[in-house]
Amino acid sequence: MDTDRFRQILAMIRRCKSEFAITTDVICGFPGETDDRFRESLEFIKECQFSGGHVFPFSGLEGTSAFALPEQVHNSLRKERTALVAHVFADAEKAYGIKRLGQRASVLFERSVQKMGKQVWQGWSEDYLKVLMRSSEDLHNQILEVKLEGVNSLGEILAIPGDRDDIIAD
């Protein structure tokens, strides 16, 4: 599939639901990736306005076709490019999360974590936003309706209970 067709598909999806969460995975430094091609890819990723994504540096596995391809990209350049794309995805995820503030979401809470000196529950919304919420209850493996209230300095979404008065939120 070429980039024009991909743009068409994104536009079609967004016509149906403008706030649809769309993510992608990217491999940086695949053999033959030139500086120009990487810049084009980075601009395309920004243009697509993904709600997030995952990025990995290419790592050839001995015995695979890609391992022996010519024009291998130096490891340090793969890491540099991976960091650039990861930054774009982090910004995109934060921007998407900000668009969702004030709305409700169903969140599967997975674990209790220490964040910014506070014990909070961490979970994932149905559209893959990382959500943090303070609670005196054990929320492990519970799906709760929450209201998305804020974004911390790491870009993580902060929530308050959506319909449960017995949960203590900050």
- Taking the C-alpha atoms of residue 27 and residue 33, their distance in angstroms, rounded to an integer, is 10
CATH label of the domain that carries residue 96: 3.30.750.200
| Number of domains, the chain | 2
Q: Which of 38, 138, 33 is nearest to 88 (CA)?
A: 38
Domain termination site, one of 79, 100, 121:
100
Amino acid identity for residue 63 in this structure: G
**Percent of the chain, pLDDT > 90?**
78
**Predicted structure pTM score:** 0.85
Same structural domain, 120 and 70: no
Q: Are 162 and 145 in contact (CB under 8 A)?
A: yes
Residue 169 lies in a domain: no
- Taking the C-alpha atoms of residue 142 and residue 107, their distance in angstroms, rounded to an integer, is 8
The pLDDT tens digits for 25-74 are 999 999 999 999 999 999 999 999 999 999 999 998 998 999 889 999 99
The pLDDT tens digits for 73-86 are 999 999 999 999 99
